[in-house]
Amino acid sequence: MWSLLAGLFKPVVEGVTGYFKDKAALKAAHLAGELSVIKTASQNIADWEQLHVKASTSSWKDEFVLIIYATPVVLVFVPALQPYVVAGFEALALLPQWYTGVFVAISLASFGIRATGTIKSLMGK
């Protein structure tokens, strides 16, 4: 009698275990795909950073951006020039937000920092 019951339930048990095995295999395949995307993105970022390092070895761009940022810091210590520095920053505050975002992104990229997130946050998207 037990063998008869076991024979009846065997296909049901095999079907249920097969379902869970297939579900686990599908999830593993999905995770493997996500891992592949992450690896590709990582490699693309590394390639971009390496390209930036090669390009900046013979460029004055980084120094120029540093001079742009350092000039107000130096000028603010000259009392006669302080009003001009303050007026300059007040004028900068009037620029459109998208322009400020692009300027910041270009500056960050000059130093090898990817700024797509910065642009999106500054542009309100």
Q: What is the mean pLDDT of the chain?
A: 78
pLDDT tops 60 at residue 9: yes
pLDDT of residue 53: 66
Q: Where exactly are the structural domains of the chain?
A: 1-58
pLDDT of residue 124: 61
Give the pTM: 0.44
Structure tokens at 115: 């700024």
Structure tokens at 91: 């004028």
Give the rounded distance of the alpha carbon of 18 from its chain centre: 40
